[in-house]
Amino acid sequence: MDSRRLQLLQRMGVDVWVRRSGGAHADSGEEPAENPVAGPVEPSAPAAEAPVAVTATADAVAAPMPSDATTSTGIGAMDWDVLAESVAGCTRCPLCESRTRTVFGVGRRDADILVVGEAPGAEEDRQGEPFVGRAGQLLDNMLRALGYGRDRVFIANMLKCRPPRNRDPDPQEVEACRPYLARQIELVQPAVILAVGRIAAQNLLGDERPLRMLRRQVHTLQTHAIPVVVSYHPAYLLRSPADKAKAWEDLKRLRELVHARSGGGGTE
Ligand code: URA
């Protein structure tokens, strides 16, 4: 691991074990194995908790993002500019009455990685950009540690408007907003989607199992044939830093998938 990545991980609060020179792989040209857990938590975790390897594509679970999520609304025919305008003026659910700004999403329109979060918070609602608060800084650091700056990915949310007091989105709001995300997925055509947090993962995948279960496997969005990696929400990681090590494992799995599907392309 290079020293910049090591520094980023340390800034994220992830303790990294770096193999000493002279170890078994010291001259092998392999990236040194790293164990970002500074304690016995991971080794003693029950085997059933361990996520499956990404290479086991046969284990991928098909998830039903509805293929017609965009067609009945006309959203499926929109290009980027029309889609952005449509989101900006959206009145498809009552959240339009309480929002300050819509939060369309940001990043590269041909990104290999599409990050899907839950919904804008207070700061995002003010600025009109996703993940700009402390959680966003952590997300940025995690992505940078992976080799992908914010400008190399596309970041969007299930909901484009902030639910009052940051409450969980209700199902009608999710369904009203779903066609926008579905169209963003179609337009970006990412190699891999990263769903952060329970709300994003459950709603994207149409799977109500808890996050710890959803993290265990690589899913596939049925209609788009795109793998989905599920990980913790960065706001949760700020509260539970011990789980950053597991999040790092998820991100490494994501990176393997991106490399397998697109040949990589990450830059710091
Ligand atoms: N949390 C999210 O899920 N998305 C944001 O944009 C900000 C916080």
CATH of the domain at 158: 3.40.470.10
The 10s digit of each residue's pLDDT in 85-96 is: 999 999 999 999
Q: Give distance in angstroms: CA of 119 to centre of ligand 1.
A: 5
Residue 24 clears pLDDT 50, i.e. is over it: no
Ligand 1 center–CA 184 separation, angstroms: 17
Q: Does any domain span residue 95? A: yes
Give the Å distance between the CA of 166 and the centre of ligand 1: 10
Measured in Å, residue 158 CA sits from the centre of ligand 1 at 9
Residue 267, in any domain of the structure: no
Q: With a cut of 90, say whether residue 233 has pLDDT above it.
A: yes
Ligand 1 contacts CB of residue 234 (under 6 A): no
Q: Does 188 fall in a domain?
A: yes
- Does the beta carbon of 232 sit less than 6 angstroms from any atom of ligand 1? no
Cα angle at 104 between 99 and 107, to 5 degrees?
145
Q: Is the pLDDT of residue 20 over 80?
A: no
Q: Residue 214's domain spans which residues? A: 71-262
Ligand 1: does its nearest atom lie under 6 Å from the Cβ of 180? no
For residue 217, give the 3-state DSSP assignment: coil
Kindly state whether residue 45 falls inside one of the protein's structural domains.
no
Pick from 134, 157, 202, 232 the residue to mutate for probing ligand 1's pocket: most ligand atoms within 8 Å of its CB.
157
Is 53 part of any domain?
no
- Rounded Cα distance between 174 and 115, Å, is 17
Question: Model confidence at 3, in pLDDT bands (50, 70, 90)?
Answer: low
> How many domains, the chain?
1
Q: Per the domain annotation, does 224 fall within a domain?
A: yes
Q: Does residue 118's CB lie within 6 angstroms of at least one atom of ligand 1?
A: yes
Q: Model-level pTM? A: 0.79
pLDDT per position as a tens digit, 25-74: 332 222 223 333 222 223 223 333 443 433 333 334 455 554 456 667 89
Does 44 fall in a domain?
Answer: no
For residues 108 and 152, the answer to whether their CB atoms sit within 8 Å is: yes
CB 195 within 8 A of CB 261: no
Q: 107: CA distance to ligand 1 center in Å?
A: 15
| Sequence-ordered alpha helix ranges (H) in 99-147 | 122-127, 134-146
Q: Which whole number is the average pLDDT over 225-243?
A: 97
Report CA dihedral (49, 199, 268, 224) to the nearest 10 degrees.
90
- Residue 79: inside a domain, yes or no? yes
